[in-house]
Structures are given as C-alpha cells and as structure tokens.
Structure 1
Amino acid sequence: MITGNVVLFAAGLTLAALLLALGAAVGFRMAAKRRPLDGGIDRQRLLHLLQELGTWTSEYSGNVSRYQDQLGAISKSVSADPKASSPKVMELLEQIMRSNQDLKKRLDAAEMQLDKQTRQIESYLSEARTDALTGLANRRAFDQQLEEMFAAYRKGGGRSFVIALVDIDHFKRINDQFGHQAGDEVLRQVANAIAQQMEGSYLVARFGGEEFAAIMPTPLRLAAERADKMRKAIAEEALHADGEAIAVSVSVGLSELRDDPTSGPPIRRADEALYAAKNMGRNRVYYHDGKAPTLLGAPEIAVSRD
C-alpha cells in the first residue's frame, strides 16, 4: 500500500503541475496583454476571440477534471483490495502516462491557439491606436497617453512634460496644386521627419488633418529648441511626391504643465502658441510660458506659396 500511495501522491503532483502550467499560460498571457478597451476596436471581433479562448480553456478544464475522477476511482480500488495493489499500481501508472501524453498534446495545441489569438488581439489593439496613413500614434492614443501622464503627475508620482503641436503650413494649397495623393505623401514624409527629429519623445502622434502632436520631456525651452531643429530640417529639404519637389514648412506651438486642474489648459496654451506662429508668418516656433506665447529665436523668411 505504501507503494500505491506514493504513486498516487506522484500522480497528484503531476496533475497539479499540469493545472499550474495551463493556468500560468493563460493567466500570464492574458494579464500581459490586458489593456483598456479602446473605442475604435471592433468589439464584436474581439469578443469572438475571447469567447473562443473561453471555449478551449473550458474544454481542457473538463479533461483535467475527468482525469482527476479516474485517479480517484483507481485510488479507491487500490485501497479496497490490498492484494491487487501491484497490478492496480501498474495500471494506474500506464493510465497516468497515457493521460499525461494526451493532455500534453492538448496543452501544446492550446498554447499554439493562444499564441494565435494573442497576436490577433495585439493586432486589433495596435490598429485602434495607429494612424493608418502615417503609421504614427493616432489622436485616441495621444489623448490616452496624455491623460495617463497627467494623472500620474498630479498624484506626485509622474514627471512633468511638454506638449508640442505641429501644423503643416498652407497644406490646402499643396492639395490644390499637386493633388490629394501628393498631399498624403507629404503627410507621410513630414510624419517621418517629425518622428526622427523628435526621437526620445514620450509620444509622437497625428493629431488630426495636417496637424501633429508630441509629448516631450522638459524643460520647455529645451523642447522648443529641439522642435525648432525639426522645423529647420523640414524647411531646408524639399519633399518629393509623384516626381514633384514640394517646399514644405511647419509651424510649432509648445507649452508645459503649470498648476493645471486638468490636461485641457496646457493643450490650449500650446494651441495659442501655434496660432501665434501661424499669425506671425508661419515657419517658426512659439512656446507659451504660462503668460503669453513667445517666439523662439529670430524668424526665418517664410516659405512662399504664391
């Protein structure tokens, strides 16, 4: 009977290990991928994926439960008939080996299915947060990042940051003169230039239309100087679309956090600085110090669109 009990104990450990493996695989992956559901996600498709995950986890849970019932029945049989303990133990070992092999195959298949479903969910989440034309984060992703960083800052556990708004000058004229396909290409190239020149920002996004936004490290003046470097790089190199060289410039407005109750005021200050850059001739950088928009450096001659 000692031998039988030892084997049953080993079988119980094996069963527990299998249950832990299944639970860890599901729990770790789902926890690692858990994010707030975004308004732009196709919720029906995501719900379908999660329902599929629930179906196969329920199926394998049932298989494990039946396996446990079989172990309990054999254990009772061994206890009731000590003389037949050796054959029963051998039978039990054989059943454990067969069941383990079968369950391992099922777990391997479940792992592959979980990988597939996880990649699909990741893809949906990524699509919901990415601007399809430029490949940058979209406005939804920007707003979410802004709110998270602002909330952390207000609680005292986050860092301060600078908001930069970037607008392509006279973009309507580009569309009218060169066509909307050329306009789309200009948007892609400007987006790429902003992402490269502002590398190290917390986030660079397409804010809407021909406007972009970035969340940058402080201090404000240093962020403005970096934005001005980006502005110069765009103005000094003509962009190309459909074989046409297109002169492009951008205007930039920046602000940083003050004693703001919400994330709205710093956005408005950055917007005021951007309008100042536009109204004062475009192709320049203004930053808002909390009192008024201020020009960074001497303005350069604005790119002519006439």
Structure 2
Amino acid sequence: MSDQEFKRALGYANSAFDLLKRSTVPPYPQFYELFYTYATGVNPTLNNRINAIFRAGDSPSESLAEQLYNEFLKSDVNDRMTAVSQRMHARIEAVHGAIDTAMTTANAYSGLLQSASGDLSLGISPAAMKSLSEKLLAETRHMQYTNRALEEKLLASRDDIAALQRDLDDVRRESMLDPLTKIANRKSFDDGLAAAIAEVRGRHDPLCLMLVDIDNFKSFNDSFGHQTGDQVLRLVAMTLKSNIKGKDLAARYGGEEFVAILPHTDIEGAVIIAENIRRALQAKELLKRSTNQKLGRITASFGIAAFRPTDTAASLIERADRCLYAAKHAGRNRVINESELVNTVTPTRKQGASAA
C-alpha cells in the first residue's frame, strides 16, 4: 500500500469512528463497516439513505444501523456458502490442471529418455550425440520449468485453500447463529440437544432443558413497535447467555421463545439458573432511547425438564414445554419444573394453548 493510499484509508477510518461517536452507535465490527462504507462513498444508495437521516436532524440508532447493515452489506449465508464453494472448486480445478500438465510433460520426458537410452545402446555418431544431448537438455529445462510452475501453483493453492477454509468456518458459524439476537439458532439448538443427549445416555449424568417465553410480547410489540420488540429480544438473549456457562447452550427457539441446554446440571441447579435469569430480566426497566419514555419492565416464564434414560429430544422438549405452559397458566413470570406437574394436567401448544 502506498503512503497516499494509507492516508486515504486512515481518513475513511477516522470518519467512520467520528460517525459512530456522533450517533452513539456501539463500535461493533458490522457498524464500523457500515460507516466506513458510507465514508468511502462507494455505495450511493446507502449514502442517500444515511444523508436523508442526517438532513432530518436525526442520527442512526443502533437498531437502524443494524437494519441498514443487513440491507446493504450483510450477504446471505447461503450465497456466501455458494461463493466459497465456487472459489474452492475453481482452485481445485486449477491444481488438477497443473498436475495434468506436469504429468503429460513427465510422461513425454520419460519417453524421450527411453528413446535416447535405446539410441545410445546401439551407438551413434558424434553429430547425432550432440543433437541428442541438446534435445535432452532442452527437454530437461522444460521439465524443470513445468515442475516450478506446478510448485508455485501448489503453494498458491495451499494459501488460497487455507483462506477459503477460514471463510467457510466463518460462514458455518454464522449459519448457526440467529441473525437478530446473535445467539444460537434453531438448527444449532437441534444439533446441540442431539449431541448432549448422546453424551449423557447410559452415563447417568444430569441434563436439563429450559424453555423461556417472554410474557405478553405480542401486546408489547404492538404497543411500541417492532424495533423496540427487537431490542427486547436481544436483551433477553444477552441475559440468557450471560447466566449460563461451560457447555451450556442458549438458543432462540422461535419468535419470542428461547431455550437453554444445561448439561451436567440437575433439576435443582437448573431452577436456580432460571430464577437468576427471571430476576435479572424483571429488574431491567426499558426506556425508549429516542424519547426516554419508560416502557415498563419485561418478564418471562420458564419451564424445566430433566433428561430421562428413555427420552428422545422430542419427549424432553415436550415435557419442558408442558412446564412452560403451566407457568403461563399460573400467572406468568415464574419458573416451573416437571416435579411440580406430577398430579396436574396442563395443556401444551399442541393442544392449542396460548403462549402470550
């Protein structure tokens, strides 16, 4: 990079950080990329959108910045996976082509050596010997050139494939995250629960499953808007994730429902974790940033089930789901585990119960 290019890039970076400060948007990598792109002016549509926000006397909030990033910069995971696969395929094809060329050259060189060996065994004139030597020398140099070209392609391919592998790992990790809350998505949860069950089956180690549902989320969303609702979902996800540890896995189950896989945790320990999360959520008072309007407090209901030797993933989820709905029907904002349901019959979502 030239000195001029470095100074220009540094200027874009400084502008991006100034915009982050001005907008009080967290300097997360995606938001830095958003404002860096704005500073370069390479995306006129994005610049027009942000300029309109500034002209209105506003500045991009965190939620709006995320919306702009998702719209203009964030590529679809499947598209990225396809792009990486295509690059990998192209690189492999290039290596195959170089190997085929080297093999063809090597075979021709081997045939020439065999022919020369036959000529030498019969005896040839000095002039023919000179001609043969010159021909062998030329072919040897050609062979050396081909081998060097193959070696260079293999070295370049090794670096490219390493970079592609890193890209593929990044895409794979992203494909396992919920794009809104940045915790594990449903697929990641399904895989994680299957792995956790396989690990404890036959070993008598404890394993608990916790389902979480935000109370009255639909009415909250309808009252204050989807952007505020998204902030609530991120808050719940962050609180859930910060209260688990080790091999525990927090995931967004769907809509306003979350789930946590708690290996090496018995039912009593799982209840303690759930109560800590419930109290942490209830203690947070929500404010609308643009107006400082108090939006009240959010609460959540929890259902907990412990793994049994005969369980499948579906049966474990069903019992946790029954506990969750018992918590809803008991007044919400509470934790219920399956030991409390021994003598009760509680409707599940399969029976049409409401989760609100």
Q: Residue 178 of structure 2 corresponds to which residue in structure 1?
A: 131
Matched, 1:167 2:213: yes
Q: Residue 177 of structure 1 corresponds to which residue in structure 2?
A: 223
Distance 1:194 1:240, change over 3 A: farther
- 1:87 Cα deviation (Å)? 7.8
Unaligned segments of structure 1, at least 5 residues:
1-39, 295-306
Give the Cα–Cα distance (whole angstroms) in 1 for the partners of residues 270 and 116 of structure 2: 76
Q: SS of 2:278's equivalent?
A: helix
Amino acid at match of 1:60: A
Matched, 1:206 2:252: yes
Q: Residue 192 of structure 1 corresponds to which residue in structure 2?
A: 238
Matched, 1:106 2:144: no
Q: CA RMSD in A?
A: 3.3
Q: Which moved more, 1:53-62 or 1:215-224?
A: 53-62
Q: Which moved more, 1:137-146 or 1:236-245?
A: 236-245
Distance 1:163 1:95, change over 3 A: same
- 1:110 Cα deviation (Å)? 1.7
Q: Residue 60 of structure 1 corresponds to which residue in structure 2?
A: 98
Q: 1:286 aligns with which of 305, 314, 336?
A: 336
Amino acid at match of 2:150: L
Contact map agreement 1:78 1:88 (CA 8 A) in 2 = no
Q: Residue 220 of structure 1 corresponds to which residue in structure 2?
A: 267
1:19-65 Cα distance to aligned partner (Å, 9 max, x none): xxxxxxxxxxxxxxxxxxxxx95686676456435523432331342
Distance 1:171 1:236, change over 3 A: same
Give the Cα–Cα distance (whole angstroms) in 2 for the partners of residues 70 and 293 of structure 1: 85
- 1:262 Cα deviation (Å)? 1.9
1:222-251 Cα distance to aligned partner (Å, 9 max, x none): 122122112111111224443444411111
Distance 1:57 1:159, change over 3 A: farther
Distance 1:197 1:152, change over 3 A: closer
Q: Residue 76 of structure 1 corresponds to which residue in structure 2?
A: 114
Give the Cα–Cα distance (whole angstroms) in 2 for the partners of residues 157 and 76 of structure 1: 66
Q: SS of 1:286's equivalent?
A: strand
Amino acid at match of 1:285: V
Amino acid at match of 1:69: N
Q: Residue 267 of structure 1 corresponds to which residue in structure 2?
A: 317
Give the Cα–Cα distance (whole angstroms) in 2 for the partners of residues 105 and 263 of structure 1: 51
1:140-165 Cα distance to aligned partner (Å, 9 max, x none): 221122123323444x4795421111
1:107-156 Cα distance to aligned partner (Å, 9 max, x none): 133224323443443344334322111111111221122123323444x4
Distance 1:199 1:139, change over 3 A: same
Amino acid at match of 2:312: T
- 1:261 Cα deviation (Å)? 4.4
Q: Residue 9 of structure 1 corresponds to which residue in structure 2?
A: none
Amino acid at match of 1:140: K
- 1:66 Cα deviation (Å)? 2.4
Q: SS of 2:258's equivalent?
A: strand
- 1:282 Cα deviation (Å)? 1.8
Give the Cα–Cα distance (whole angstroms) in 1 for the partners of residues 170 and 240 of structure 2: 25
1:181-209 Cα distance to aligned partner (Å, 9 max, x none): 10001111111111111132432110001
Total equivalences in the alignment: 254
Matched, 1:146 2:198: no
Give the Cα–Cα distance (whole angstroms) in 2 for the partners of residues 290 and 86 of structure 1: 94
Amino acid at match of 1:58: H
Identity of aligned residues (%): 31
Q: SS of 1:289's equivalent?
A: helix
Give the Cα–Cα distance (whole angstroms) in 1 for the partners of residues 98 and 282 of structure 2: 61
Q: SS of 2:271's equivalent?
A: helix
Q: 2:302 aligns with which of 252, 273, 279?
A: 252
Q: SS of 2:302's equivalent?
A: strand
Matched, 1:277 2:327: yes
Give the Cα–Cα distance (whole angstroms) in 2 for the partners of residues 96 and 290 of structure 1: 80
Unaligned segments of structure 2, at least 5 residues:
1-76, 122-128, 345-356
Contact map agreement 1:147 1:263 (CA 8 A) in 2 = yes
Give the Cα–Cα distance (whole angstroms) in 1 for the partners of residues 92 and 82 of structure 2: 15
Amino acid at match of 1:174: F
What TM-score, normalized by structure 1, do the two folds share? 0.70
Give the Cα–Cα distance (whole angstroms) in 2 for the partners of residues 128 and 293 of structure 1: 42
Give the Cα–Cα distance (whole angstroms) in 2 for the partners of residues 104 and 49 of structure 1: 20
Structure with more relative contact order (C-alpha pairs < 8 Å, separation 6 or more): 1
